[in-house]
Structure 1
Amino acid sequence: MSIQPVDVLYTAVATAEGGRDGRVATNDGQLDVVVNPPKEMGGSGAGTNPEQLFAAGYSACFQGALGVVARQEKADISGSTVTAEVGIGKTPAGGFGIKVALSAHIPNVDNATAEALLEKAHQVCPYSNATRGNIEVTISVA
Structure 2
Amino acid sequence: MESTKKTLYTADATAVGGRSGHVRSASGIIDLDMSVPEGLGGKKGATNPEELFAAGYSSCFQQALLVTAQRAGDKLDPATEVKCSVSLFQEGEGYGLSAVLDVDLKSFDRAKTIEMVRQAHKICPYSVGTRGNMEVTLKVQGEDIPLEAGENAGVAEGK
Same fold (TM over 0.5): yes
Kindly tell me the number of residue pairs found equivalent between the two proteins. 138
Name the SS of the counterpart of 1:20 in structure 2: helix
What CA distance in whole angstroms lies between the structure 1 residues aligned with 2:102 and 2:31? 28
What CA distance in whole angstroms lies between the structure 1 residues aligned with 2:45 and 2:9? 31
**Structure of greater relative contact order (alpha carbons < 8 Å, 6+ residues apart):** 1
Give the drift of 1:46: 3.0
Unaligned runs of 5+ in 1: none
Flag as ranges the 4+ runs of structure 1 deviating above 6 A.
Answer: none
Give the drift of 1:28: 1.1
2:89 corresponds in structure 1 to 89
Matched, 1:39 2:50: no
1:24 corresponds in structure 2 to 23
Conserved? CA contact 2:66–2:75, under 8 Å: no
What CA distance in whole angstroms lies between the structure 1 residues aligned with 2:133 and 2:116? 23
Matched, 1:111 2:110: yes
Matched, 1:50 2:10: no
Q: Which amino acid aligns with 1:26?
A: S
Name the SS of the counterpart of 1:74 in structure 2: coil
Give the drift of 1:5: 7.5
Q: Let me know the Cα RMSD of the aligned residues.
A: 1.4
Q: Percent sequence identity over matched residues?
A: 41
Name the SS of the counterpart of 1:55 in structure 2: helix
Unaligned runs of 5+ in 2: 142-159
Q: Tell me the TM-score normalized by structure 2.
A: 0.83
Q: Tell me the TM-score normalized by structure 1.
A: 0.92
What CA distance in whole angstroms lies between the structure 1 residues aligned with 2:38 and 2:4? 39
Conserved? CA contact 1:25–1:31, under 8 Å: yes
- The 1:125/1:43 distance shift into structure 2, 3 A limit, reads same
Name the SS of the counterpart of 1:84 in structure 2: strand
2:127 corresponds in structure 1 to 128
Conserved? CA contact 1:75–1:109, under 8 Å: no
What CA distance in whole angstroms lies between the structure 2 residues aligned with 1:46 and 1:21? 12
